[in-house]
Amino acid sequence: MTGDQGQQWPIDEDLSALRDHLLRRATLAGLRGDRLDDLLIAVNEAVINVLEHGGGEGTVTIRHDTAAITVDIVDSAGVLSQRDVPPRRPADAVRGFGLWLMSQLCDEFTIRRSDGRSRVRLRMSLDAVPAR
């Protein structure tokens, strides 16, 4: 990916500061409106998953090029995989549909495991027209 080399932040309980970082970076990259809101929601879901289920620690890396903004959320537990994403929103669930929601909000949503960690990648095109 050519363009921005990215910035990385540790995941901690201060979700407000992390959202502020993401908001600034995504806005500078050119993401606006509902697409910006969708990315903020998806990253928030991923970070909460790290805090609640992913070992409690990890990092968020944000970078962009002329085509897209990419956010990688890495945890320290390494138990999450792509097969954990439900194909449909779980019925009658008040919780437990964050992975499904991320898959619906972002143009690209992948989960990879390596070196004892899980990496969630969320990617949003900087095009004016949503991909979904």
Q: Which domain holds residue 50?
A: 7-125
Could you tell me the two tokens for 62? 């944000």
- Do the domain assignments include residue 69? yes
The answer to whether residue 1 is domain-embedded is no
Give dist(CA 130, CA 77) in Å, integer: 32
* Number of domains forming the structure of the chain: 1
Q: For residue 49, tell me if it sits in a domain.
A: yes
Decide if 36 is inside a domain.
Answer: yes
55 within domain boundaries: yes
> What tens-digit pLDDT sequence spans the chain (132 residues)?
445 667 899 998 889 999 999 999 999 999 999 999 999 999 999 999 999 988 889 999 999 999 999 999 999 888 877 777 767 766 766 666 788 999 999 999 999 998 889 999 999 999 755 545
Q: What is the pTM of this model?
A: 0.86
Residue 77 buriedness (CB in 10 A; 0-12 / 13-18 / 19+):
middle
CB 80 within 8 A of CB 120: yes
CATH of residue 111: 3.30.565.10
H helices within 1-132, ranges in order? 15-29, 33-53, 98-105
